[in-house]
Structure formats: C-alpha cells, structure tokens
Amino acid sequence: MKIIEPSVELAEDFDAAAVMQKIERAGRVCYKSEANIKADSAEKFIRGIIRRGHESVIEHASASFKIICDRGVSHELVRHRLASYSQESTRYCDYTAGKFGGELTFIRPCFWSEDDENFQLWSATMATVEKNYLALRANGAKPEEARSILPNSLKTEIFVTMNLRELRHFLKLRTAPAAHPQMRQVALKMLDILCDKLPALFDDIG
C-alpha cells in the first residue's frame, strides 16, 4: 500500500504574454479600441475587464492540468461542466498488474496528522481494502467487479482543461474556506501555478 500527497502540474506550458495579447485583442473588438493596443497594454486592459465583470472575453484562452488526487476530490472536480476531463479508469486499470506494483495507492487525508487516532483508523481501513481487492482479483473477479470496494481515498489521475473564465469560477468556489479541505488543497495548488503564470487574471482570487 502506498500513501501519497496530491499534486498538480500544468499539463502543457504556454506563452503567458501571447495569452494576454490574445485576450486583449478579443476584448478590444467589443469596444473598437484596437488602436490602443501597445506592447505593454494587455495587463491594464485585462485587469480592467475583470474588475468590470466582462469575463466572457477570457474564454478565448484555456489551461490544462494533470491532477493526482483522490476519487472523492475528482467527483467534486467533474461537477464543473464547462471543462474537459480524461480520468484514470478503475474499470480498465488492473492494480494487480506489474505497472501498478501489485498494490493500491491512496491519497493522504490533509486533515489528520499521522499520530492522530483517526489517521490510524483510516490507514488500517485502506490496508484492509487493498488486501480484499487483491483477494477478489486472485479469486477471478475482473477489475470492473473488484473496483466496487474501492474507496474515495483511492488515488486517481485526471487531465483537466478549462477556459480561463471557468477556471476563475472554479477557483473562487474551491479555494474558499467553505470548500472541502482536500478539494481546497488541490485548488490552491492550481491557483499558485496560475498566479505565477497569469497574475493579472488570477491574483485577485483568494
């Protein structure tokens, strides 16, 4: 049994300046102010349209992430409709196969320390799940049958693409203090990446 931390990576890098310029070009069509485009005008223009709530303009750009999280978090993630998702399948992935090392991987709950009794109960439960999953497979159950005992804590990988407006909406909801702690943990990692790459679009969140 493996226990790991969740992680987020930008699935493909992009030229942040080119993204900003594209959004500015799109937005200035609305106001017929293309003549005002300068080498350094994109940031001020974009901060202005965000401040005014004219966020449809930023739908012209998107970002993709590869996220490793638990199945419960992925279920919250896919509730956001204006996005594309490709997720590790528990139906087709055989966790007894060599590439998985013949063991299950679980995401460490962020709300318990390792010396907490609740963490010990969780860890023992995951060990039992792994033992029984492997036993089901050894007894001839197919992966799609054995997966019926797999818990929310099972590690999953999901490739996510959202346009920047939907990312703003997603991050406002999922970085808020009321968000589920594990969902918030992942969303804050995404926000850190986006604030670094595109501060004019995301540094007002959180």
Active site residue 174: yes
**Is the sign of the CA dihedral 50, 54, 60, 64 positive or negative?**
positive
- Pair of tokens at residue 147: 């997966």
Domains of the chain: 1-13+62-206 (3.30.1360.170)
**71 neighbors 150 (Cβ within 8 angstroms):** yes
Kindly report whether the global pTM for this prediction surpasses the value 0.85: yes
Given pLDDT bands bounded at 50, 70 and 90, which one contains residue 183? very high
What is the reported pLDDT for 150? Answer: 98
Nearest to 38 by CA among 50, 20, 56: 20
pLDDT (average), residues 42-48: 97
**Pairing, β 83-87 against β 155-163:** antiparallel
Contact between residue 126 and residue 104 where contact means Cβ atoms under 8 Å apart: yes
Pairing of strands 155-163, 62-70: antiparallel
Residue 115 phi/psi, 5-degree rounding, is: -95, 5
pLDDT at position 98, please? 86
Residue that is written with structure tokens 């300068």 in the block: 38
Could you give the CA distance from residue 111 to residue 114 in angstroms, rounded to a whole number? Answer: 10
Marked catalytic residue, from 71, 165, 168, 174: 174
Chain-centre distance of CA 197, in angstroms?
16
| Mean per-residue pLDDT over the chain, rounded | 97
- Kindly give, in sequence order, each residue whose CB lies less than 8 Å from that of residue 182, ignoring residues fewer than 6 positions away: 6, 69, 70, 72, 73, 107, 109, 110, 111
Helices (H), 139-198: 143-146, 164-174, 181-197
Span 2-29, average pLDDT: 97
What proportion of the chain, given as a percentage, has pLDDT over 90? 97
Tens digits of residue pLDDT in 109-161? 999 999 999 999 999 999 999 999 999 999 999 999 999 999 999 999 999 99
**Alpha-carbon distance 23 to 202, whole Å?**
14
By CB atoms closer than 10 A (0-12, 13-18, 19+), residue 113 is exposed
CB atoms closer than 10 angstroms to residue 162: 22
Q: Per-residue pLDDT tens for 49-102?
A: 999 999 999 999 999 999 999 999 999 999 999 999 999 999 999 999 888 989
